[in-house]
Amino acid sequence: MALTFYNSLTRNKDEFRPVVPGHVGIYMCGPTVYSEPHLGHARGPVVFDVLRRWLEHEGYRVRFVSNVTDVGHLSDVEEGEDKLAKRAQLERLEPMEVAEKYFWSYFDAMARLRVRRPDVVPRASGHIIEQIELTRALLDGGVAYVKDGNVYFDVSAYQPYGELSGRDPEELLEGTRVEVRSDKDDPRDFALWKKAEEGHIMRWPSPWGEGFPGWHLECSVMSTKYLGDEFDIHGGGLDLIFPHHECEIAQARAAGKPFARVWLHWNMITLEGEKMAKSKNHFVTLAQLFERYDPVAVRFHLLRSHYRSVSDFSDDSLTASAQGLRRLRETYRLVSEGAGETAEPGAFEAARAAFAEAMNDDLNTPQALAVLFDAARDINRALEAGASPAYRAAARALFDELLDGVLGVPPTADALGQSHDLLDGLVGMLLEERQRARARRDFATADAMRARLEELGIEVEDTAEGSRWKLG
Ligand SMILES: [Zn+2]
């Protein structure tokens, strides 16, 4: 099967054809760095890391660009304040100090998830001149207008507007936020440049007065700057299709740039079956998650669902993923013992083909993992029957190439992974012991064990299916 992706722009699974044969340019909308990275930040980078690795495995040269928004989300302005500036006032820090702090928290968390650093990480604040230039070009082209220091994109002057989201003009209207004081000609119009009101901390001089760029602008500018006016793949979360990506396309194409050919959008992550919401405290930071689960197991769990489906995180599903990962690693450990120098030629060709088939089918990672689980089952059988050193070497090479190389999941646990496994095993053993005490109605012992565990920061919950635990 040829490499195919579901393209949100064509609403079709299309065969992939790069703009320049042998090369692939990818742009992924990165985070706004104003708070600790949370679970929702993990999916896109993991999916795109696997995409990048698979393209490289298939012989492409990839340039991967992912931005950092350090000017503040204009679409998320709360009570007229830019989030970065707001946070800065709370913490009494310079906005750039806040951005710098969370920039590194984000990349530290990504490193623990085994996400490779992008080739270019452009910051919005470092591309103000280019954003002013594009705004000027859109004004010159007659698709933008100035109103009292603000510059707006004139949606009515760009007919294809709505092409990505597929919304008609009525729906586009409904999608715009109700603004109390707006001087736009049409509510659908969006800001390219915003006038800085008094007290707004982040501001730059421009031909239209002091202000700051609209959020959508940075991605049109920075993607084409590093990848060319036409490039291969642009990605983001589903929630970015409208208005962010719709506006990005309009800005670029209205300025004569063909822009991205393929648009990939990943679905959201839910927590215990429910949408994450910071306002309801129903969310988890990556730092909190990594206390309880090996980051590699978190990555593995993300790859167990297709990127276009919802990925749910619960204690049960994460524990199941961690167990699945341990099974694959155990097979790898066993097969590595006594592996020869040279691999048996032709071994695992069918598994490799099935893995490629899955990955070429719009990056079907759950199917690719199923292929590896099947291979592990065959390998375990072969080991019982006394596998040859050459067979062992071939099996080890398969895991090195596909599990480690392509999926970015190391087949041996590092010290942290081992300590997570050890903790899991030890707490599991204690809970079994406690279960036995309960079964013989020795509740004093059971309660004492629970209290002792709680002192150590381990919360025990008794359910119909047995006892579960988490770090308190
Ligand atoms: Zn973007």
pLDDT tens for each residue of 177-217: 555 557 899 999 999 999 998 877 788 999 999 999 998 99
pLDDT tens figures, 357-387 = 999 999 999 999 999 999 999 999 999 999 9
Of 440, 444, 435, 376, residue with least CA distance to 411: 376
The pLDDT of residue 72? 59
Cα separation, 404 vs 214, in Å, equals 40
What is the band of 80 on the pLDDT scale with cuts at 50, 70, 90?
Answer: very low
Residue 94, burial from CB neighbour count under 10 angstroms (0-12, 13-18, 19+): exposed
CB of 320 closer than 8 Å to CB of 276 = no
The pLDDT of residue 448? 93
What is the band of 82 on the pLDDT scale with cuts at 50, 70, 90?
Answer: low
Q: Which fold has domain 4-266?
A: Rossmann fold (3.40.50)
Task: Decide: helix, strand or coil at residue 25.
Answer: strand
Q: How far is the CA of 202 from the centre of ligand 1 (A)?
A: 19
What is the band of 79 on the pLDDT scale with cuts at 50, 70, 90?
Answer: very low
Q: How far is the CA of 219 from the centre of ligand 1 (A)?
A: 5
Q: How far is the CA of 235 from the centre of ligand 1 (A)?
A: 8
The residues spanned by each domain of the chain are 4-266, 274-406, 415-471
Q: How far is the CA of 27 from the centre of ligand 1 (A)?
A: 9
Q: How far is the CA of 31 from the centre of ligand 1 (A)?
A: 9
The pLDDT of residue 181? 57
- Residue 166's CB: how many other CB atoms inside 10 A? 13
Q: How far is the CA of 245 from the centre of ligand 1 (A)?
A: 7
Q: Answer yes or no: is pLDDT of 109 > 70.
A: yes
Q: Answer yes or no: is pLDDT of 175 > 90.
A: no
What's the mean pLDDT in 229-234?
A: 98
What's the mean pLDDT in 111-123?
A: 97
Q: How far is the CA of 430 from the centre of ligand 1 (A)?
A: 48
Q: How far is the CA of 37 from the centre of ligand 1 (A)?
A: 17
Cα 359–361–363 angle (5° rounding)?
A: 45
What's the mean pLDDT in 2-12?
A: 97
What is the band of 471 on the pLDDT scale with cuts at 50, 70, 90?
Answer: confident
Q: How far is the CA of 355 from the centre of ligand 1 (A)?
A: 31
Mean pLDDT of the chain: 91
pLDDT tens figures, 438-466 = 999 999 999 999 999 999 888 888 887 77
Q: How far is the CA of 379 from the centre of ligand 1 (A)?
A: 44
Unique residue bearing structure tokens 């749910």: 312
- DSSP readout, 89-147? HHHT--HHHHHHHHHHHHHHHHHHTTPPPPSB--BGGGGHHHHHHHHHHHHHTTSEEEE
pLDDT tens figures, 401-413 = 999 999 999 999 8
What's the mean pLDDT in 25-33?
A: 95
What CATH number does the domain located at 274-406 have? 1.20.120.640
The structure's pTM equals 0.88
Q: Answer yes or no: is pLDDT of 74 > 50.
A: no
CB of 413 closer than 8 Å to CB of 296 = yes
Q: Answer yes or no: is pLDDT of 78 > 50.
A: no
The pLDDT of residue 88? 66
Q: How far is the CA of 322 from the centre of ligand 1 (A)?
A: 33
The pLDDT of residue 1? 85
Q: How far is the CA of 101 from the centre of ligand 1 (A)?
A: 21
Q: How far is the CA of 72 from the centre of ligand 1 (A)?
A: 12
Residue 178, burial from CB neighbour count under 10 angstroms (0-12, 13-18, 19+): exposed
What is the band of 280 on the pLDDT scale with cuts at 50, 70, 90?
Answer: confident
- DSSP readout, 164-203? TT---HHHHHHHSPP-SS---SSTT-EEEEEEPPTT-SS-
pLDDT tens figures, 326-351 = 999 999 999 999 899 999 999 999 99
Of 164, 326, 293, residue with least CA distance to 235: 164
- Residue 26's CB: how many other CB atoms inside 10 A? 25
Q: How far is the CA of 350 from the centre of ligand 1 (A)?
A: 40
Q: How far is the CA of 293 from the centre of ligand 1 (A)?
A: 30
Q: How far is the CA of 225 from the centre of ligand 1 (A)?
A: 14
Q: How far is the CA of 385 from the centre of ligand 1 (A)?
A: 54
Chain CA centroid to CA 49, Å: 9
In order of 82, 219, 267, 403, the CA distances from 235 in angstroms are 24, 11, 11, 24
Q: How far is the CA of 421 from the centre of ligand 1 (A)?
A: 38
Q: How far is the CA of 217 from the centre of ligand 1 (A)?
A: 8
The pLDDT of residue 460? 86
